[in-house]
Amino acid sequence: GAGVSQSPRYKVAKRGQDVALRCDPISGHVSLFWYQQALGQGPEFLTYFQNEAQLDKSGLPSDRFFAERPEGSVSTLKIQRTQQEDSAVYLCASSFYQGANGYEQYFGPGTRLTVT
């Protein structure tokens, strides 16, 4: 079956613009994660959904970051008033449920956001 998909793959935004990044998880996966990966760094956790419920948003760096998953499948990460420090690759990952398959998460290809 299809893996995790993300769109757009690349996004260039001018400072101050709002952006929306989309994630389509693997069908049937209950858990969905967003990570931010700065250049040359490992991914860092942003937020976690179980179905449509956002159970952990402790990694969101500011109130300019907002994520939703209204129907428990597709998720959108929105960044308002983008700043240069928001430039990074945003990775989405999904898993069937907590603990399933040894906690393995399946990653999408990421969206590279560049803020100019």
Partner 1 sequence: AQTVTQSQPEMSVQEAETVTLSCTYDTSESDYYLFWYKQPPSRQMILVIRQEAYKQQNATENRFSVNFQKAAKSFSLKISDSQLGDAAMYFCACVLSGAGSYQLTFGKGTKLSVIP
Residue with Cβ nearer partner 1 (20 or 30): 30
Shortest CB 45 distance to partner 1, Å: 4
Residue with Cβ nearer partner 1 (19 or 48): 48
Q: Could you list the residues that contact partner 1 (CB under 8 A)?
A: 31, 33, 35, 40-45, 48, 55-56, 58-59, 89, 91, 93, 95, 98-99, 102-105, 107-110
CA 93 to chain centre: 7
The closest of 61, 100, 75, 52 to 6, measured between CA atoms, is 75
Residue with Cβ nearer partner 1 (40 or 70): 40
Residue with Cβ nearer partner 1 (49 or 115): 49
Contacts of 57 (CB under 8 A, 6+ apart): 46, 47, 48, 67
Q: Are strands 5-7 and 53-56 parallel, antiparallel or unpaired?
A: unpaired
Shortest CB 81 distance to partner 1, Å: 26
Output Rg (C-alpha) for the chain, integer angstroms: 13
C-alpha pair distances (Å), 32 with each of 26, 48, 116: 9, 6, 29
Shortest CB 48 distance to partner 1, Å: 4
